[in-house]
Amino acid sequence: MSFLVVGLNPTLQKTLRFPEVIPDRINRTGIHCLDVSGKGINASRALTQLGKEVVYLCQLGGVMRPLFLSLCEQDSLSVEWVESSSEIRFCYTLISDSGSTVTELIEETAPVEKVTEQRLIDLFGALLNSGKFCSFEYLIVSGSKATGFSDELIPLMVRKAKEKGLKVILDIRGKDLIESLKYRPDIIKPNLHEFASTFAPDLIKNNELIEDETYIKKQTKAAALDISKKYGCRIILTRGSQKIWAIDGEEFFEVTVRAIKPINTTGCGDVFTAGLAAALKDGKGFNEAIAEGTRCATLNAGLLRPGVIL
């Protein structure tokens, strides 16, 4: 296996597409789908569709676990999991064609039981050392973690992966990202809002980026260059349909994202991560890998299901 993807917030995602969503009315549609989702599994599914070998690692529990695993099997996903004794959350995507809007309704994650973390650490270590799989080349950690996990868990995984010689790509934020940097991940890929909330909180007001884009760019560039120099990592900041900002060593550059009329933007960042990682695995350069990430994200935006390119 080439990729080990860790996603600690597994989700069942219901997507419904309407010609128009009218508040305070009954809205009916025959266009809908149910998928396994969450940032880690979206990246895993896209990598699988790109023809890569992937193991997805997570925690699962509750009455919906058989359904979750059945949907994973339908998507040809290889899943390793530990018992969490907590229900899998549901999230909902409402698409309105008339307003070209994508609305996310997100359930908070139920807390995992206390022993789940040690189970996960043990399985993670076993996967890194097992002869069951070919040696992993990449660790991807994507998304927030469920309530009940400690702040030490993700940095521990990053440390163990780097000790094994794996390349590490992180699509995380906050303390998980800050505490993982000391182990020198190869690439960090939060979106701009996540990066700002983690490293430049003065750029956030009322949970939104301030409107002064010139100041945002100046402060973000300075912070990203400092982090890249200190920890030796490349940095990619996605910005939705706007230009990507990236740091490679001491070079800051921008990458244009091809504009399309999207259907469902859910999972685009995760699919970007998959495309980026797949291209790097194939020996592409950093700029080429970013271009492949944007290509895959654009494909995802034009499809109904989250986290797909097909």
How many helices (H) does the chain have, and how many strands (E)?
9, 15
- Output the pTM of the full model: 0.96
Using CA atoms, how far apart are residues 205 and 210, in angstroms rounded to an integer? Answer: 6
CB 294 within 8 A of CB 273: no
What pLDDT sits at residue 135? Answer: 81
pLDDT for the residue numbered 69: 98
Q: Given CATH 3.40.50.150, say whether it is the number of domain 3-301.
A: no
Percent of all residues in the chain with a pLDDT value above 70, rounded to a whole number: 98
Domain parsing of the chain, residue ranges: 3-301
pLDDT along the chain (310 residues), means of 10: 93 97 95 98 98 97 98 98 97 92 94 97 94 80 96 98 97 98 98 96 94 95 97 96 94 93 95 98 97 97 96
**Phi, psi for residue 226 in degrees, rounded to 5:** -65, -45
Please state, in angstroms and as integers, the Cα–Cα distance from residue 31 to each residue in 70, 102, 105, following that order: 21, 14, 18
282 three-class SS: coil
What is the enclosing helix (H) or strand (E) of 246? Answer: strand 242-248
* 3-class secondary-structure state, position 99: coil
Contact by Cβ (8 Å): 302, 263: yes
Confidence at residue 259, expressed as pLDDT on a 0 to 100 scale: 86
What are the Cα distances from residue 112, in Å, to 34, 57, 115, 230, 257?
24, 15, 8, 35, 38
Between strands 204-205 and 208-209, the pairing is antiparallel
How much is the pLDDT for 133?
55
DSSP H helical ranges for the chain = 39-49, 65-74, 116-129, 153-163, 174-180, 192-199, 213-231, 268-281, 286-301
Return the closest-CA partner of residue 59 out of 108, 122, 104. Answer: 122
Q: For residue 36, what pLDDT is reported?
A: 98
What are the pLDDT digits (tens) for 119-155? 999 999 999 987 665 589 999 999 999 999 999 999 9
